Chain A
């Protein structure tokens, strides 16, 4: 069984807010996403080595932050949207046991091209800030 296609937003205007997305940061999520992205750096799966390298625990890799930011914006932009750019800067690490809440709002609209400003926060502070540019299907914007 496959999930249903997602519609594009009915209308888009600067300032529109995206539905918030809370992601529980389980240890399994952090390890599974690191491996799915073929990132076997020990700091993303081996707690002991992560501590030796100066971290308090394993932490999410940046490929996963990219993936989650894309998921967050696609969830709003719909199945037909094409992602044209993802620009992110990382801050506080995503450690196991925490929750990251992604929030976003439309920062610019140029025809069908929409830039969404994204911010993801965990209990330590801002994990990620950035922008995602998507091209919405014709007539949607």
Chain B
């Protein structure tokens, strides 16, 4: 991956989060009526499959014996009245709702699998045959990415409001889905490198690095170069300082090859080197464009730049005659 691609990828991650969060509070599904009014045949299918034998759902006399005016649908069936059924699998709904936009955006993030995790139903009244149930759905929240037993995903919480033909609310349902990436499918977004501890003494160095300039702090009194940056010159004690820009050439002073423990931001094996610049100061850096077994103390190296993410650019070094990767 080139630095430019890495930079674009990381910027995309921030942008993606913002695009997701923009759905908060949005009505995903405008008021939509179920295909059929509440009816006994569909209730019968439901209670048979569920193993529910209470006659109040299908039998007029039995329902009246409990003080009702006729059969009542099982409360939990509220959602079934507005399901689009098999039609949803074979023919997309007419038009394009924000719900479709959100589903597409989640698919773009790789969250192609879905499982319901929570349903919190409250019912204002029992539904009876003839009721025409409609539903609208508003997005309440989208969680940050979570690692779950099913895979990496996001919890998407909505509130569904069910109304009758008169517009009265008959039920509300807080509804939570886990939208997840099936394991083993597609690359996960790269973790960010650990943030450097930037303070007033060293901020200039990281600022320069973002501009792809490798600078070295210099004592303004005696001219001694020093790295890492600090407030006081070790040679003369002066607090005055400025910088010079390094030529970007040096040699490996020492190195280690890191195999373990692994941090998800890095590729392994990872060559961590102390490079001595031709100016005389040394810095800790990574070597790129070279196999770990080819690294040797004294190896001449030249400066390159790693744009790890939009906030972080770091100097790295590659062999002077090294092959590109």
Contacts and interface: CB of A to CB of B under 8 A. Distances in A.
Nearest to B117: A90
A32 B47 CA distance: 11
Contact of B54 (A6, A54, A67, A69): A6
A39 B50 contact: no
A83 B73 CA distance: 11
A43 B182 CA distance: 13
Nearest to A70: B76
B70 to A, nearest CB: 14
B294 interface: no
A20 interface: no
Contacts of A112: none
Given A29-B49, A89-B118, A3 B54 contact: yes
Contacts of B66: 5, 79-80, 137
A37 B80 contact: yes
B116 A2 contact: no
Given A38-B83, A38-B84, A79 B56 contact: yes
B69 interface: no
Contacts of A86: 75-76, 119, 121
B15 interface: no
Contacts of B98: none
B52 interface: yes
Interface string A35-59: 1111111110000000011100000
A71 B51 contact: yes
B54 A74 contact: yes
Tell me the dominant secondary structure on chain B's binding face. Answer: mixed
Interface string B176-208: 000010110100000000000000000000000
A105 interface: no
A87 B120 contact: yes
Contacts of B122: 84-85
Nearest to B52: A71
A82 interface: yes
Interface in B33-86: 45-46, 48-56, 58-59, 62, 65-67, 74-77, 79-80, 83-86
Contact of B76 (A6, A39, A67, A89): A67
A79 B54 contact: yes
B268 interface: no
Contacts of B143: none
6 contacts: A38-B86, A69-B76, A79-B54, A79-B65, A85-B120, A90-B116
5 closest pairs, A vs B, by CB? A54-B182, A38-B83, A66-B76, A62-B116, A36-B49
Given A2-B59, A39-B80, 16 more contacts: A3-B54, A4-B55, A5-B62, A36-B45, A36-B49, A37-B83, A38-B80, A41-B114, A43-B115, A62-B119, A66-B121, A67-B52, A67-B74, A67-B76, A84-B123, A137-B67
